[in-house]
């Protein structure tokens, strides 16, 4: 049956099916039993009536009194369900009868057997007439069985209840099926969502990577654009140093020699500070929003700005001390300021002033509090058509080779991603002002104590220590310079040029008090590898690493090795050695 198949296909619950079946069987059984009981009762009643008639007509039959027999038969007519009645004598002759309209007297009357039979809604009853054992004849009665309509009416209530129960079962089952289907769909959708989500996450990771690459290239571009200024500055420093050294050789006046060497040291320190800042700036670092004090930050950047711009450009900072803190990525902010500074420099080929000012802007209505930075130049300005497009990526007014056009789009991207606003104001011949507004944050900036502590003068005096060092350094010039410093500090040392040589030396003489190694060296093993090997072989021997590469530096601190960044002076070397000897782990 197709509907059964459909029910099974629709996972019609077996329980529901079974209960439906049980209900049906119970209903049918009750109906059949009732019907049977009713039939038996009807037959009994009809039999009793026939018996009564048979006993009543016995005399009339025995003594041929048809009129009396007819009287008894007529009396039976009072019962409306009696359709016909007949009395036959012992020879099968009809003695008395009555028949209602449309009915017939049945035949086969000669038999005097007791009989009860149902026939098409009629009940036929035959009863022999006997008196004291003498057979006198037979009585036939034809009764109307309970009419079909009446019988159906009797079962209508039962049918109704059965139907209702079936309906409830079916509805429940259908509802359950629908629920199950819905659950299935939901699970499918959830799985689909999970797939879409993982795809999205993958895309987000890829995008993040791409953005990081973009930021890095933006930084590199900025540095490239700074190169000219920095090279110029380095030339000046080298000039100071070389002229100072020459003059040192020519004079023997101790006073003059002291002032010359002070000038040389200052130039070298400035150069070191400049490269340190460049390295820090170019470091590849993940985007991380932190709470910044804009004033302190820009002040810190002043040195790099002054060095990287031309000398004919004056940098003016106008930063109030009560600026609200902002939340932004440190590197991105620096890059944005540098980009704007370089643009300003390019806009002022004849020299001029770069004014960086800041102010608090209290929010009005919906807008929150902002900290606004204004970077203004006194250059040529730009036409409105250009001003409208300055933030578009790859839009540039510079000739090929001088800029990619990514600078201002980095500034725009940084401000937008920090939840801020940027605007540009420019009039030809009257300079350009960029205004960056960053939202104020409720958080407080960390205390400015991260800068390396000021050198504690005289922590180590020459000749006070007596330790043996293994110096690993591939650059001969550096090795000689460091060697002099070590001698001066009172350390004896053995110098090797590579990690392999260092391990060899350690095999022959494991009595070194400290290993002082450069990190980036030619050969299969670098300084970090050497340090790890030493830690494995001789855990008690301390290791101090040094490098000029910022990435290598972070790797060293990640492995919990002490690190001395290049370039370093004798005092910082002394401190680092002393600290490593007393406590090998940072």
Binding residues (CB under 8 A) for another protein: these are: 56, 58-60, 62-68, 70, 91, 93, 131-134, 136
8 Å CB contact between 224 and 339: no
Name residue, tokens 């400035």: 270
User: Closer CB to another protein, residue 19 or residue 70?
Assistant: 70
Q: What span, in angstroms and rounded, lies between the C-alpha atoms of 119 and 439?
A: 102
User: Closer CB to another protein, residue 9 or residue 63?
Assistant: 63
Residue 311 neighbours by CB under 8 Å, 6+ apart: 232
Which helix H or strand E contains 318, and what residues bound it? strand 313-318
Query: Beta 134-144 vs 82-89: how paired, if at all?
Result: antiparallel
8 Å CB contact between 408 and 221: no
Phi, psi of 580 (to 5 degrees): -65, -40
User: Closer CB to another protein, residue 54 or residue 356?
Assistant: 54
Q: Provide the minimum distance between the beta carbon of 105 and another protein in the complex, in angstroms, as a whole number.
A: 17
Cα-trace Rg, the chain: 57
Q: What span, in angstroms and rounded, lies between the C-alpha atoms of 559 and 532?
A: 9
For 400-453, the three-class secondary structure string (H helix, E strand, C coil) is: CCCCCCCHHHHHHHHHHHCCCEEEEEECCCCCEEEEEEEEECCCCCCCCCCCCC
Phi, psi of 413 (to 5 degrees): -60, -40
Q: Provide the minimum distance between the beta carbon of 153 and another protein in the complex, in angstroms, as a whole number.
A: 42
User: Closer CB to another protein, residue 55 or residue 532?
Assistant: 55
Q: Provide the minimum distance between the beta carbon of 62 and another protein in the complex, in angstroms, as a whole number.
A: 4
User: Closer CB to another protein, residue 132 or residue 451?
Assistant: 132
User: Closer CB to another protein, residue 135 or residue 360?
Assistant: 135
Q: Provide the minimum distance between the beta carbon of 159 and another protein in the complex, in angstroms, as a whole number.
A: 49
User: Closer CB to another protein, residue 46 or residue 61?
Assistant: 61
User: Closer CB to another protein, residue 65 or residue 513?
Assistant: 65
Instruction: Give CA 449 to chain center in angstroms.
Output: 37
Q: What span, in angstroms and rounded, lies between the C-alpha atoms of 105 and 83?
A: 9
Q: What span, in angstroms and rounded, lies between the C-alpha atoms of 462 and 530?
A: 29
Q: What span, in angstroms and rounded, lies between the C-alpha atoms of 59 and 47?
A: 20
Q: Provide the minimum distance between the beta carbon of 94 and another protein in the complex, in angstroms, as a whole number.
A: 10
Q: Provide the minimum distance between the beta carbon of 27 and another protein in the complex, in angstroms, as a whole number.
A: 50
Phi, psi of 372 (to 5 degrees): -110, 130
User: Closer CB to another protein, residue 109 or residue 342?
Assistant: 109
Q: What span, in angstroms and rounded, lies between the C-alpha atoms of 118 and 138?
A: 19
User: Closer CB to another protein, residue 50 or residue 436?
Assistant: 50
Q: Provide the minimum distance between the beta carbon of 122 and another protein in the complex, in angstroms, as a whole number.
A: 28
Q: Provide the minimum distance between the beta carbon of 63 and another protein in the complex, in angstroms, as a whole number.
A: 5
Query: Beta 432-439 vs 421-426: how paired, if at all?
Result: antiparallel
User: Closer CB to another protein, residue 64 or residue 476?
Assistant: 64
Q: Provide the minimum distance between the beta carbon of 127 and another protein in the complex, in angstroms, as a whole number.
A: 16
User: Closer CB to another protein, residue 58 or residue 308?
Assistant: 58
Q: Provide the minimum distance between the beta carbon of 75 and another protein in the complex, in angstroms, as a whole number.
A: 13
Question: What do you get for the CA distance between the two ends of the chain, in Å?
Answer: 84
Q: What one-character-per-residue DSSP string does 270-314 give?
A: HHHHHHHHHHHHH------EEEE-HHHHHHHHHHHHHHHS-TTEE
Q: Provide the minimum distance between the beta carbon of 51 and another protein in the complex, in angstroms, as a whole number.
A: 14
Q: What span, in angstroms and rounded, lies between the C-alpha atoms of 323 and 336?
A: 19
Residue 308 neighbours by CB under 8 Å, 6+ apart: 226, 229, 230, 233, 338, 341, 342
Residues in the chain: 586
Q: Is the peptide bond before 343 cis (omega within 30 degrees of 0)?
A: no
User: Closer CB to another protein, residue 71 or residue 425?
Assistant: 71
Q: Provide the minimum distance between the beta carbon of 70 and another protein in the complex, in angstroms, as a whole number.
A: 8
How many other C-beta atoms can be found within 10 angstroms of the C-beta atom of residue 196? 10
Q: Provide the minimum distance between the beta carbon of 59 and another protein in the complex, in angstroms, as a whole number.
A: 3
User: Closer CB to another protein, residue 96 or residue 576?
Assistant: 96
Name residue, tokens 């000219």: 228
Q: Which residues of 382-410 are buried (b: 16+ CB within 10 A; e: fewer)?
A: beeeebeebbeeeebeeeeeebbbbbbbb
User: Closer CB to another protein, residue 27 or residue 137?
Assistant: 137
């Amino acid at each position: 049956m197709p509907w059964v198949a459909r029910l099974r296909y629709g996972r019609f619950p077996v329980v529901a099916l079974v209960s439906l079946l049980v209900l049906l069987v119970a209903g049918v059984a009750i109906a059949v039993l009732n019907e049977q009981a009713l039939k038996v009762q009807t037959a009994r009643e009809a039999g009793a009536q026939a018996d009564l008639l048979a006993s009543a007509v016995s005399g009339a039959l025995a003594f041929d009194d048809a009129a009396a027999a007819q009287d008894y038969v007529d009396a039976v007519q009072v019962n409306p369900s009696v359709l016909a009645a007949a009395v036959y004598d012992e020879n099968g002759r009809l003695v008395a009868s009555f028949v209602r309209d449309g009915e017939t007297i049945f035949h086969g009357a000669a038999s005097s057997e007791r009989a009860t039979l149902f026939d098409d809604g009629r009940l036929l009853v035959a009863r022999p007439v006997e008196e004291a054992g003498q057979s006198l004849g037979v009585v036939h009665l034809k009764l109307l069985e309970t009419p079909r309509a009446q019988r159906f009416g009797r079962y209508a209530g039962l049918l109704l209840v059965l139907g209702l129960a079936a309906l409830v079962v079916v509805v429940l089952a259908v509802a359950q099926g629908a629920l199950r289907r819905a659950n299935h769909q939901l699970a499918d959708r959830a799985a689909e969502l999970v797939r879409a989500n993982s795809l999205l996450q993958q895309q987000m990771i890829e995008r993040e990577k791409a953005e990081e690459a973009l930021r890095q290239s933006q930084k590199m571009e900025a540095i490239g654009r700074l190169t000219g200024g920095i090279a110029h500055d380095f030339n000046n420093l080298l000039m100071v140093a070389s002229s100072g050294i020459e003059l040192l050789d020519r004079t023997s006046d101790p006073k003059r020699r002291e002032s010359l060497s002070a000038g040389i040291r200052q130039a070298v320190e400035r150069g070191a500070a400049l490269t340190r800042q460049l390295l820090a700036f170019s470091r590849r670092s993940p985007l991380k929003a932190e709470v910044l004090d804009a004033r302190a930050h820009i002040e810190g950047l002043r040195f790099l700005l002054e060095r990287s711009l031309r000398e004919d450009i004056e940098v003016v900072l106008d930063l109030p001390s009560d600026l609200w803190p902002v939340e932004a990525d440190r590197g991105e902010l620096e890059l944005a300021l540098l980009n704007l500074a370089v643009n300003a420099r390019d806009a002022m080929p004849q020299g001029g002033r770069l004014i960086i000012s800041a102010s608090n802007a209290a929010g009005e209505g919906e807008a929150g509090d902002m900290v606004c930075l204004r970077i203004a130049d006194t250059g040529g300005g730009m036409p409105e058509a250009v001003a409208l497009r300055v933030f578009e990526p790859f839009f540039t007014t510079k000739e090929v080779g001088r800029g990619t056009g990514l600078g201002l789009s980095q500034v725009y991207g940084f401000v937008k991603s920090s939840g801020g606003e940027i605007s540009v104001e420019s009039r030809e011949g009257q300079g350009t002002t960029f205004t960056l507004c960053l939202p104020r944050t409720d958080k407080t900036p960390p205390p400015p104590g991260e800068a390396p502590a000021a050198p504690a003068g005289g922590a180590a005096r020459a000749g006070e220590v007596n330790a043996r060092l293994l110096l690993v350094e591939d650059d001969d010039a550096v090795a000689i310079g460091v060697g002099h410093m070590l001698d001066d500090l009172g350390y004896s040392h053995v110098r090797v040029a590579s990690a392999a040589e260092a391990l060899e030396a350690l095999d022959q003489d494991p009595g070194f008090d400290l290993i002082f190694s450069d990190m980036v060296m030619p050969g299969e093993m670098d300084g970090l590898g050497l340090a790890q090997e030493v830690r494995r072989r001789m855990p008690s021997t301390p290791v101090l690493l040094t490098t000029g590469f910022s990435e290598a530096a972070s790797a060293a601190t990640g492995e919990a090795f002490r690190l001395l960044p290049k370039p370093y002076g004798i005092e910082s070397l002394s401190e680092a050695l002393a600290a490593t000897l007393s406590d090998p782990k940072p």
